[in-house]
Amino acid sequence: MPAEDGTLLARDAALFLDQQKEAIGLPGLRIVMQEEFLREAAALPGLTRDERLTVLTQAEVVLKNLYAHLAFKKTDDPAANPFVAFAQIRDQIDTLSDFDFHTCMLIALAKVRDVHTSYLAPSPYQGAVAFLPFQIRFFEQPKGQFRFVVAKTMAASGDGTLGHEAFVIGAEIVSWNDLDPLEATRVAAEMQPGANLDAELSRGVARMTIRSIASHGVTGKGGAPPFQLSHHAVIRYIAPGEKRKREIVFPWQVATGFGATSFSSAAFSVSDALTLMQHWAKCSYRPDKLLKTSPPDHAAAAAPAAAAPTGADDWLEAQFATDPPRPGCPHPDLLRNDADPEYPLGYLRIRHFAGDAPALLEDAKLAQAADLLRRFDREARGGLILDIRGNPGGQIRLAERMLQLFSPGEIRPLSFHFPRTQLVTDVLAFFRAHAGSAGRFEEWIEARPGDETAAEHLTPGRTITPPAAANDTGQIYQGPVVLLLDALTYSAADMFAAGFQDHGIGELIGVDCSTGGGGADKWSYQDIVESLKPVPGFDLPDLPRDCRLTLAVRRCTRPGAGQQPIEDIGVTPHLFHARTERDVLDTNNDLFALACERLMMPLARIDVEAHQRDGGKLTLTVSAVGAAFIAFRLDGTVLASGPLTECHPHSFSMEIPEAQGESRQLRLEAYEHQAAFEAALAPLASPRLPLAAPPSRSNLGFLRTPPSARRKREAAAS
């Protein structure tokens, strides 16, 4: 069949986007053909032989001495050992081109199948994204048979379309560079594969049309240096409503000028490559931000400019039943909950855990989430769909601290372990013998009860999130919650999903059989240099130019018996939902309908209706749903308790012991019956009342629901 040339379509989309770069906040955007980008890169001075040896040697040193998963990767997969590849690079150090050297380093680090542990090639590759003017998604129809379709296209004009009559949303991809689409996704994932098969497939699909060059490269399948590069994608497809196959060839283009803000990565757990790709996709597939303009002028050239800062405060996306419809969210009609209109539902997407913000903003981010959940607790009492699909991670402490906002019980943070290597042993011994700050090793210096049960290859576990910080705010949202996740749920989002499951907060619904399996906190090479500076004999050289290495240094395990890791395994959902065509092409309608159905379950909550403080005496009037007994606890001591009648207000008085300051919080604990309280079972709901000031209608719910509504919900659940 004759192949259609899609070059003009791709150029039109790129030029149209270039015309909108000020509107979308990318004044430094520059887009060129991939061939031109690589030609310009090759003309720049490359690394010297000594600089290459420094990169190679330091990669070997840090992996051998500080890589937390190395012993486990060797055991589980003998091929996941990069040191053979390092030796081959050393043998060819004088004959490799600069581009081939960086590609060989990417291949070597890809062998460990750990996105946290990676090499990033220097400028001009850093911050550069290779792309095609569309995105694809997959679904299973029938179950077990993967089908790949065009899910989005870039706009080439003011009408928001790419401008082709057949290559449109819904077109089915049947061949990609003469490969079956499923095989092509595996090829796309080779340079930075997922930790498990689900993650590899999802990452491969994402990288079919968007690739971070610094971490993924541009090579095709296999081969040895000098690498053969492909600058085009040859795609066979079937247009919607047709049966015949068509073929089109699109050139790869490269976008630069929108780099990423960089923060210290210690106590961060995030996929940098996925974050960069998502940032590009967000900017290039936003028709609401694109201006209505005239057709692109092919003679216009995009002049390079300074990179624009990133980090817009849009990490939370909310949808209420009273809001107008939003792209990517459940329709408000679904959230209005026709089965029980007095209990509408809500939707909250956590796009990342502040991966674009320094750790000092952790408290502010937590407060932002808490404020939003107070509104959900008032306006979406029936249940909340919590969505972390595609969340690449971020701040570990923020992710773990957010769990308490949904849970009536105490949150137990994950444990983290350094590898038990000679270097780590010597570093800990040095800090034990010398007074002063041990930095990121501080918690691991002193022995604690239970340390003798530590795994053979790991140091004893310590928390990154202090238990007090993980429980300092308490439950805010009291309705039932379901959590949506997929194989691109990674790093700190993996950890959030694990905590959500381990604490029984709600049901996990997955469109893949597991999350991405990123089970460690990631350190940059510079983090390692700074952490080891005080220790004699471990003065590591800086990497040349702006080459970067990142490393999984502290492996995490889930609390409880067995200390199950997250790395490679991920988190298995309670319920698997195979993607449908409607999900892929019609805003996840089937997935959201399932989530709403699973929220039709019994509810337990407490609401404060009146509050009076007279010196040390506190009087509260409360109402409850789904509970028959309440206890009031302060600093671990029960001040008052008593039975409740559902949906009827009850008043309780108690004496508040004197204490320094008024930052304490009174815990209101709802139980199914008095016997559950006496048996010290976990409460059904446990909001908190700050004692510093009386509550207001802005932060506490007021319940006026007749008992009949409760009975209707129970009937629907049964």
Residue 310 φ/ψ, nearest 5 degrees:
-115, 180
Whether the per-residue pLDDT at 253 is higher than 50: the answer is: yes
Nearest CA to 518 out of 465, 571, 577, 574 is that of 571
Fold (topology level) of 605-717: Immunoglobulin-like (2.60.40)
Label residue 118 by pLDDT band (50, 70, 90): very high
Strand 253-256 and strand 507-510: the pairing is unpaired
| In contact, 598 and 575? CB cutoff 8 Å | yes
Residue 219: predicted pLDDT = 65
pLDDT value of residue 195: 78
Taking residue 379's Cβ as centre, other Cβ atoms within 10 Å add up to 14
Question: Amino acid identity, residue 464?
Answer: I
Please say if the pLDDT value at position 467 is more than 90. Answer: yes
- Structure-model confidence comparison of residues 314 and 42, the more confident one: 42
Q: What type of residue is 50?
A: D
Centroid of chain to Cα 121? 23
pLDDT for the residue numbered 168: 97
Residue 607 to residue 693: CA distance in whole angstroms: 17
Phi (first) and psi of residue 612, to 5 degrees:
-140, 130
Return d(Cα 476, Cα 373) in angstroms, integer. 6
Band (83; pLDDT cuts 50, 70, 90): very high
Superfamily classification of domain 311-411+466-516+571-599: 2-enoyl-CoA Hydratase; Chain A, domain 1 (3.90.226.10)
CA angle 41, 43, 45 (to 5 degrees): 90
Token pair for 28: 């430094």
Greater pLDDT, 491 or 2: 491
Q: If DSSP codes are grouped into helix, strand and coil, which group holds residue 37?
A: helix
**What local confidence, expressed as pLDDT, does residue 693 receive?**
57
pLDDT of residue 391: 94
Average pLDDT of span 263-287: 66
Mean pLDDT of 300-324: 61
Higher pLDDT, 270 or 565: 565
Query: For residue 705, what pLDDT is reported?
Result: 38
φ, ψ (nearest 5 deg) of residue 193: -70, 160
Give the tens place of pLDDT for each residue, 546-561. Answer: 999 999 999 999 987 5
Q: What's the mean pLDDT in 224-243?
A: 92
Confidence of residue 292 (pLDDT cuts 50, 70, 90): very low
Instruction: Out of 112-126, 372-386, 446-460, 489-503, pick the least confident.
Output: 446-460
Average pLDDT over residues 459-487: 96
Q: What are phi and psi of 458, to 5 degrees?
A: -130, 150
Whether 150 shows a pLDDT value over 80: the answer reads yes
Q: Mean pLDDT, to the nearest integer, of 411-419?
A: 97
The tens digit of pLDDT for each residue in 52-65 reads: 999 999 999 999 99
Whether 213 and 259 have beta carbons less than 8 Å apart is answered as: no
Confidence of residue 261 (pLDDT cuts 50, 70, 90): very low
Long-range CB contacts (within 8 A, 24+) of 556-562: 556/414, 556/415, 556/416, 556/417, 556/495, 556/519, 556/520, 556/521, 557/414, 557/415, 557/416, 557/417, 557/461, 557/519, 558/414, 558/498, 558/502, 559/412, 559/413, 559/414, 559/415, 559/502, 560/502
* pLDDT at residue 41 is higher than 80: yes
- The pLDDT assigned to 267 comes to 56
Q: Provide the Cα torsion 679, 681, 684, 690; round to 10°.
A: 90
pLDDT at 309 over 60: no
Give the pLDDT confidence score for residue 327 in this predicted structure: 87
* Residue 615, pLDDT score: 84
Model confidence at 605: pLDDT above 60: yes
Please determine, for residue 357, whether its predicted confidence score (pLDDT) is greater than 60.
yes
Res 696: pLDDT: 47
**Which CATH architecture is the domain 1-44+122-304 placed in?**
Roll (2.30)
What token pair was written down for 319? 């949808």
Rounded (10°) CA dihedral 139, 144, 145, 150: 10
pLDDT at position 698: 36
Position 294 scores a pLDDT of 38
Q: Give the pLDDT of residue 270.
A: 62
Indicate the SS3 state at residue 227.
coil
pLDDT averaged over every residue in the chain = 87
Spatial distance between the Cα atoms of 511 and 137, rounded to a whole number of angstroms: 12
- Helices first, then strands: H and E counts in the chain: 21, 29
- The tens digit of pLDDT for each residue in 162-212 reads 999 999 999 999 999 999 999 999 988 888 777 788 888 998 998 999 988
359-397: pLDDT as tens digits: 788 999 999 999 999 999 999 999 999 999 999 999 999
Which ranges of 47-149 does DSSP label H, i.e. alpha helix? 49-66, 70-76, 83-91, 98-110
Instruction: Say how far apart CA 366 and CA 401 lie, in whole Å.
Output: 8
Whether residue 226 has pLDDT greater than 90: no
Q: Please, are residues 235 and 175 in contact by the beta-carbon 8 Å criterion?
A: yes
pLDDT band at 299 (very low <50, low <70, confident <90, very high): very low
Q: What is the mean pLDDT of residues 492-503?
A: 97
Higher pLDDT, 342 or 332: 332
Domain ranges of the chain: 1-44+122-304, 311-411+466-516+571-599, 605-717
Rounded percentage of the chain residues whose pLDDT exceeds 90: 68
